Amino acid sequence: MTEIAVLGLSHRSAPVELRERVAFQEGKLPTALSAVREELKLPECVILSTCNRVELYTLIPERDGHEAKLKGFLSRFHRLEPESLDSGFYWHLQPDSVRHLFRVAAGLDSMVVGESEILGQVRDAYTQAVSHGSVGAVFHRLFQTAIRAGKAVRSRTKIGEGAVSVSSVGVELARRIFRDLPSKTILVLGAGQIAKSTLACLKAQGTRKILVANRTQEAAVPLAESVGGQVVPFTDLSASVTQADIVICSTAADRYLLTRPQIQAIMSARRQRPLFLIDISVPRNLDPQIGQLENVYLYDIDDLEGISSSNLQMRLGEMEACSEIVEREMNGFLNRFNGS
């Protein structure tokens, strides 16, 4: 009998140093989805890869052996030593695998409990798997039900009230460090959804000088215009960083965009004026050694968790109602799946 399984790791189980090593760049997802089907002979697969989690949802023919096979696939695909994947992963089978997906889609397993971005990310992962032929009848129903459950949690409870996204947590951290945030020059690297959310948060804070740099300038122009910002060349980041007080990085680059030697030169040019950087990217796009420099303050995605925890208490009272919706949707799906 086939069974739904998930192998994954998240901000709860593994540090960003491990998550970034197994994260899937969007351009490589089609190859990865095909490899799971062809190498492991698994008929259905969806890969969810975000800044806070990497999860492989698969339909397996039997329980034994597939956890090791999927870890082996990850080590081969990402060219990692197998022993590097010995810790940090979780392996869920039914009904826990289904419950886990529904809780993820509802924002109940997020770093920022109740955040809404994850629902769109689950939908995007499902859509991409559909477009590459990795979804059949079971996962069509599974993910459509999970998305419906996520919507129901947000519409029928108050879990989203006062909730913040990863991007708004980053802006809150900047506000704490720079009390007069509107007067600061902020450089945003990237033009994806998190960059858009970050710019919206900055605009709400009254920030007046915003610079936007993106590998594709056509994507940066409307984004900058929406907040009254200015597009700057992606090919000359050093000049833009020299102007900035705050740099928020959310890109999908496969390398460090800024390294320690670059920042050393920039700090000399700006006469050691303090520089604050937030790297929301996974894999990280700012060299971690940058944070060792004097007057340079570097934070990554895991550093934001402490800030987001202060928003958790106000939403804990809604968790029971949210869990009831998840359990009801999960049981309905499993009853149909098991033919009862």
What's the mean pLDDT in 285-311? 83
Are residues 98 and 212 located together in one domain of the fold?
A: no
How many domains does one find in the chain?
Answer: 2
Are residues 157 and 109 located together in one domain of the fold?
A: yes
pLDDT tens digits for range 87-97: 899 999 999 99
> Which amino acid would we find at residue 102?
F
Residue of 5, 17, 146 whose CA lies nearest to 84: 17
Residue of 261, 305, 268, 211 whose CA lies nearest to 19: 305
Are residues 173 and 61 located together in one domain of the fold?
A: no
Are residues 177 and 284 located together in one domain of the fold?
A: yes
User: What residues have CB less than 8 Å from 291, skipping those under 6 apart?
Assistant: 297, 298
Are residues 122 and 258 located together in one domain of the fold?
A: no
Are residues 237 and 301 located together in one domain of the fold?
A: yes
pLDDT band at 70 (very low <50, low <70, confident <90, very high): very high
161 vs 315: CA distance, rounded Å: 8
What's the mean pLDDT in 306-326? 73
222 vs 213: CA distance, rounded Å: 12
* Phi and psi, residue 193, nearest 5°: -65, -40
Are residues 325 and 191 located together in one domain of the fold?
A: no
Query: Which residue range forms the structural domain that includes residue 295?
Result: 166-308
Are residues 183 and 292 located together in one domain of the fold?
A: yes
Does this model's pTM top 0.85?
no
Q: Is the pLDDT of residue 165 over 80?
A: no
CATH number at residue 287: 3.40.50.720
SS3 184: coil
In 3-state terms, the chain is what percent helix, strand and coil (to 5)? 50, 15, 30
Active site residue ranges: 51
Are residues 291 and 228 located together in one domain of the fold?
A: yes
CATH number at residue 144: 3.30.460.30
Are residues 155 and 292 located together in one domain of the fold?
A: no
Are residues 212 and 270 located together in one domain of the fold?
A: yes
